[in-house]
Amino acid sequence: MLNKSFFWVILVFTLPLIISCQNTIDRGLVAYYPFTAGVDDQSGHGQNGIVDGAVLTEDRSGNKNCAYRFDGIKAAILVNLIQIPAVQEAQSISWWYVIDSIPKFSDEWGAGNMIALVDTTKGIGIQFGFRGPAYKSLGLDAWNWGGGTLLECQPPAVKIWHHCVYTFDAREHRFYLDGELQTSSVKETQIGVPTLLMFGNYPSGDQYFEGRLDDIRIYDRVINQTEIRQLFQSDQ
């Protein structure tokens, strides 16, 4: 049996490491929506959302009223941004989603926006979600305002929660799914700072997402793969 002295030695050396890991994962967090308090921003930057038709539902752990369901018809959440990285600057976006089936769009140019960060006046931004066959992509995409594909990925299994992470280091775009790197590119971004953040659609548009979203994080830095796996494993 371990004696008490040995136990305290272990605690003294491991506790700082635990605290350090917790602090690291929050470093550079500029917006955070766990949806446990509605659409209030939990990062401390006051970028709170406005719900338009989205409905609280169970999250991936079965907790009631801790995720949002979007109906694919009119539901969305809109956030007026105060502090956010420019599209061309280093950043990371992390989120969870689940859908019941692969989207089929009535228009081949159709799309379902999970997350959009845009400035509609300047016509710039970055969007994430599913897109129709006219875009000639794999279907689960990141794209510039106006449709230019930045990253594309084959949609994973339906009816299962998936963890997505987009990172950009001001040169290379990367997309991670469930803790693993799926694809990357060095395609050019647009230039400008988003003024609006939208979940379930894009501002001034009608490309609605049908499914559930949870635990959305936006960073002003590139989180590394260790941190990405930590988010994936700790949030399951």
In a domain, 17, yes or no: no
C-beta of residue 234 within 8 angstroms of C-beta of residue 217: no
Find the radius of gyration of the CA atoms of the chain: 19
Amino acid 23: pLDDT: 60
In a domain, 2, yes or no: no
C-beta of residue 112 within 8 angstroms of C-beta of residue 236: no
In a domain, 10, yes or no: no
Could you tell me which residues are beta bridge partners of residue 116? 127, 198
CATH of the domain at 163: 2.60.120.200
Amino acid 83: pLDDT: 95
In a domain, 87, yes or no: yes
In a domain, 208, yes or no: yes
Amino acid 235: pLDDT: 55
166, HSE (Cβ side, Cα atoms, 13 Å): 28
Q: Are strands 149-153 and 140-144 parallel, antiparallel or unpaired?
A: antiparallel
14 CB contacts (<8 Å, ≥6 apart)? none
Cβ-in-10-Å burial (0-12, 13-18, 19+) of 22 comes to exposed
C-beta of residue 175 within 8 angstroms of C-beta of residue 165: yes
Amino acid 215: pLDDT: 98
Number of domains in the chain: 1
Amino acid 163: pLDDT: 98
Amino acid 234: pLDDT: 78
In a domain, 49, yes or no: yes
38 CB contacts (<8 Å, ≥6 apart)? 49, 51, 56
Residues of the chain with pLDDT under 50: 1-2, 4, 6-21
For residue 116, which of 139, 84, 89, 138 has the smallest C-alpha distance?
A: 84
pTM, entire model? 0.89
Domain that includes residue 216, residue range: 29-234
Amino acid 71: pLDDT: 98
Q: Are strands 180-185 and 49-52 parallel, antiparallel or unpaired?
A: unpaired
In a domain, 202, yes or no: yes
In a domain, 44, yes or no: yes
